[in-house]
């Protein structure tokens, strides 16, 4: 069976095209660092990569939410720590005033200290977060929540909870429960303490004010405990999500990125194959009709 020159030419051209395609593909992979650029080049890997990226994006959003929750809870814990110190000072003041050994001047000085505590409490209640939002205004985060109104504390915020999505179908409240009652109750108890000190009412100081401060310390400690538990939960979720994000990053890289060491080997091999195909075609084209007749 004789092989026609046209068939020989077509076969050589086909080999050259195939070798050239592999050669150019290897070049492109080395220059881009990617196994493929268009999904049509590797539909299965492209589909898997798209799914992984979608899940990674969703997980990253949860991670961003957790960072916001951590920031909110951390700021709130700092305010609770200062509030706890303030109430402990008020308790010490109540015990000192109830001792019965204070002069009128000393009682007035103690009452003035309580007034300073009230002013400090208002400042703490109007604390703002890292983005300038009021921490204890509920959903009215751009509204200053507390102002002094005579001997009482006025509230301009709301008691709606700030919630963040920490996972699929999982929500966490990161704001203080009922901030109006929390700070107003402390302010009112300080006002009562101040009045009892000014009146020199040792019975009320002992039976009411000291008990109020002790109870308030317990409430604050419980609140701080709840915040601490949430912070621990957030940190555990963050750590878990970080591991999962790393897994997705590796998975996407395995699907999309080329191993450069392997790519260089393929490049060298495809270059050799391409050059060989050119040489074979060149030799083949030198054959005459008599070479086929022999």
Shared-domain flag, residues 218 and 89: yes
46 within domain boundaries: no
274 within domain boundaries: yes
Q: How much is the pLDDT for 289?
A: 45
CB contact set of 285 (below 8 Å; sequence gap of 6+):
9, 12
Mean pLDDT of 110-130: 96
- Give the whole-angstrom CA distance, residue 137 versus residue 175: 9
Shared-domain flag, residues 236 and 98: yes
Last residue of a domain, one of 234, 251, 268: 251
| Number of domain units in the chain | 2
Shared-domain flag, residues 171 and 241: yes
Shared-domain flag, residues 55 and 119: yes
Last residue of a domain, one of 251, 267, 283: 251
Shared-domain flag, residues 169 and 273: no
Shared-domain flag, residues 58 and 193: yes
- C-alpha dist (Å) from residue 38 to 42, 45, 174: 8, 11, 43
- Give the whole-angstrom CA distance, residue 10 versus residue 254: 38
End-to-end CA distance of the chain: 12
42 within domain boundaries: no
Q: How much is the pLDDT for 17?
A: 65
pLDDT reading at 1 higher than 80: no
Shared-domain flag, residues 123 and 195: yes
Shared-domain flag, residues 210 and 233: yes
Mean pLDDT of 13-41: 61
Q: How much is the pLDDT for 239?
A: 95
**Average pLDDT over all residues of the chain:** 84
40 within domain boundaries: no
Percent of the chain, pLDDT > 90?
60
Shared-domain flag, residues 241 and 265: no
For the stretch 222-253, pLDDT in tens is 999 999 999 999 999 999 999 999 998 888 87
Q: 241 is in which domain, residue-wise?
A: 51-251
Shared-domain flag, residues 81 and 200: yes
278 within domain boundaries: yes
DSSP code of 145? -
- Give the whole-angstrom CA distance, residue 23 versus residue 12: 16
- Give the whole-angstrom CA distance, residue 241 versus residue 59: 7
């Amino acid at each position: 069976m004789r092989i026609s020159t046209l068939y020989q030419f077509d076969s050589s051209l086909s080999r050259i095209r195939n070798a050239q395609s592999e050669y150019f593909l290897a070049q492109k992979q080395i220059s881009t660092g990617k196994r493929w650029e268009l999904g049509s080049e590797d539909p299965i890997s492209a589909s898997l990569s798209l799914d992984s990226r979608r899940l990674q994006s969703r997980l990253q959003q949860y991670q961003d939410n957790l960072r916001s929750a951590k920031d909110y809870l951390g700021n709130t814990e700092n305010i609770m720590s200062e509030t706890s110190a303030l109430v402990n000072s008020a308790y010490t003041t109540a015990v000192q005033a109830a001792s019965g050994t204070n002069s009128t001047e000393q009682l007035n000085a103690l009452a003035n200290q309580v007034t300073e505590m009230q002013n400090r409490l208002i400042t703490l209640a109007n604390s703002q977060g890292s983005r300038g939002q009021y921490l204890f205004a509920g959903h009215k985060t751009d509204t200053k929540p507390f102002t002094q109104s005579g001997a009482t504390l006025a509230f301009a915020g709301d008691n709606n909870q700030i919630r963040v999505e920490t996972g699929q179908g999982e929500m966490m409240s990161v704001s203080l429960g009922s901030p109006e009652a929390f700070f107003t109750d402390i302010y009112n108890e300080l006002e009562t303490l101040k009045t009892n000190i000014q009146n020199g009412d040792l019975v009320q100081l002992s039976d009411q004010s000291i008990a109020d401060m002790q109870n308030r310390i317990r409430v604050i400690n419980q609140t701080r405990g709840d915040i601490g538990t949430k912070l621990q939960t957030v940190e555990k979720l963050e750590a878990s999500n970080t591991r999962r994000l790393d897994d997705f990053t590796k998975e996407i890289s395995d699907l999309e990125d080329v191993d450069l060491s392997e790519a260089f080997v393929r490049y060298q091999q495809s270059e050799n194959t391409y050059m060989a195909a050119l040489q074979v075609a060149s030799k083949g084209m030198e054959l005459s009709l008599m070479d086929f007749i022999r």
